[in-house]
Chain A
């Protein structure tokens, strides 16, 4: 198995509602994979299952060859599997720079590093990444004062600061000004090309996902409906039916 992320037969129920049923998919190291599906099809639930927000009912999830379905969120994050949120989550009262500095990978967190000021290297990297997402001028402002789109960019920069092997992005372009979207697509691709970070992206904007992803999975009603290269999935009658409400 050369896949970085391997999801096998994962099911998740909330009471009587089946949010995910027998989902299997895999994401190759260094690829960009999209996850699409109508609202309520179980995309975010699947993300939550992968990063350990809640236990799964059936199946297994492997990351880098290790079983992670029984591990907790921070442990999984330390393995290098990091997610961003659909409703952006940043540290509102802290400055953008501080948001970046606190996102430095935790490692073993020895006491002497805990009790030291952030290293100069970390400052330099934080500034570099803030510039990368175009927020250099906002460096010292409280993150909560940024616009929603800027907060999304900050959250993306924080995720990069965390030096993940793989990023799970939940609707990275939702709420972002259309003119900024092209820039974001470009930055996502560069993050993969330059930093080698594997991307797994939930996205509603078809133009974005068709431009970005090399392989797409489509969910509907909690089940895997189709998968394949973007063009193929886009023209799949089952996918069209799911989006247009046909059965």
Chain B
């Protein structure tokens, strides 16, 4: 048990730090993997812990993608002029300007995303169960169309993200450590969150929301805050994602409901929703599988992916950790009272 609780996380952390140097050829894929982990973890806040299946979380990711880049450009240049030139104008930043813009952009992204979650939460979190799921279904598509129609942010032709001023190598390392840092921070923050009263209330809402209300809990407040927290991490992940891809397409990168939007749900379910490690394990397995499919089944990769989605949901809805929990419940027993932790 000590091995699992203490040594394993440290070993994984060491692996995370050394991985980009050990496997330089996979640096971009590893960076993407951390983003996937953040997507799965933040989906699970509502989807797993609170029992609200959201299909609209991609909206906060997309808002993060746009906010980080538009803020970075807008600090030193005229955004409208740049997007109107549709890629014919090259922006020049001094390294200092670039980094100021990068970090101000990455600070703004989660704030705007969380604000959007607050507004949407007010409107939608009064709905329950399937009705909430259906209501969120259209959000990603609507947001993608809105972004594609808004000329100031590049419309359907998208935006070129400012280019990193240093070497390609150092730029990629920076993005790797930004993503890895976000991944670890998300995990640590959620681990803490799930041990609080807030975490208990999320589980109570999942198990029986009427009963939670009958005990006097302000469920709508908890639900809205939960969505804002998810949006914060999604906004940050989106902000970094723009830089990883280097180009923002409204439907394929920012509000990519059919890929990232579906994947985040699938990854959390595959690993075991409602658990802390589940989304991490699910994201890792899924992303490895996804890359294998893209390499060995190219041309059929979307078909294979679709079958995978169906297979997981039909045959394995409890996920890897859910299955483990059923087989070996004693591993998941929560120990001493003061150290309640999510498995």
Contacts and interface: CB of A to CB of B under 8 A. Distances in A.
B150 interface: no
Nearest to A107: B216
Interface in A95-116: 95, 97-98, 101-106, 109, 113-116
A103 B213 CA distance: 10
A140 B197 contact: no
A74 B216 contact: yes
A72 B333 CA distance: 36
Contact of B204 (A51, A102, A117, A120): A102
B308 interface: no
Residue from A82, A95, A102, A118 with most neighbouring chain B CB atoms (10 Å): A102
A106 B218 contact: yes
Given A93-B207, A140-B334, A73 B200 contact: no
A93 B203 contact: yes
Contacts of A91: 203-204, 207-208, 211-212
Contacts of A94: 200, 203-204, 207
A114 B337 contact: no
B216 A90 contact: no
A13 interface: no
B197 A113 contact: yes
Interface residues of A, number: 37
A50 B39 CA distance: 44
B41 to A, nearest CB: 18
Contacts of B198: 114-115
Given A73-B214, A92-B207, A94-B207, A102 B201 contact: yes
A120 B37 CA distance: 34
A35 interface: no
Interface in B212-229: 212-219, 221-222, 225
A163 to B, nearest CB: 10
A126 to B, nearest CB: 9
A113 B222 CA distance: 12
B200 A114 contact: no
Contact of A106 (B195, B203, B216): B216
A91 B196 CA distance: 17
B204 A109 contact: no
A135 B201 CA distance: 22
Interface string A12-30: 0000000000000000000
B98 to A, nearest CB: 35
Q: How large is the interface on B (under 10, 10 to 19, 20 to 34, 35 or more residues)?
A: 20 to 34
A218 interface: no
A190 interface: no
A209 interface: no
B208 A116 contact: no
Interface string B169-205: 0000000000000000000000001011110110110
B211 A82 contact: no
Nearest to B207: A91
Nearest to B220: A74
Contacts of B328: none
B115 to A, nearest CB: 17
B25 to A, nearest CB: 42
Contacts of B207: 90-94
A150 interface: no
B23 interface: no
B338 interface: yes
Contacts of A109: 218, 221
Contacts of B208: 89-92
A198 interface: no
A113 B211 CA distance: 21
B200 A98 contact: yes
30 contacts: A73-B214, A74-B213, A74-B214, A77-B216, A89-B208, A89-B214, A90-B211, A91-B204, A91-B211, A92-B207, A93-B203, A93-B207, A94-B203, A95-B334, A98-B203, A102-B200, A102-B204, A102-B212, A104-B197, A106-B217, A109-B218, A114-B222, A115-B196, A117-B340, A120-B338, A123-B337, A140-B333, A140-B334, A158-B215, A162-B215
Top 7 nearest A-B pairs (CB, nearest first) are A77-B216, A91-B207, A78-B216, A89-B211, A102-B200, A106-B216, A74-B213
Given A93-B203, A116-B197, A140-B334, 8 more contacts: A74-B213, A77-B214, A83-B214, A102-B215, A106-B216, A106-B217, A114-B198, A123-B337
Interface of B: 193, 195-198, 200-201, 203-204, 206-208, 210-219, 221-222, 225, 274, 333-334, 337-338, 340
Interface of A: 51, 72-75, 77-78, 82-83, 85, 89-95, 97-98, 101-106, 109, 113-118, 120, 123, 140, 158, 162
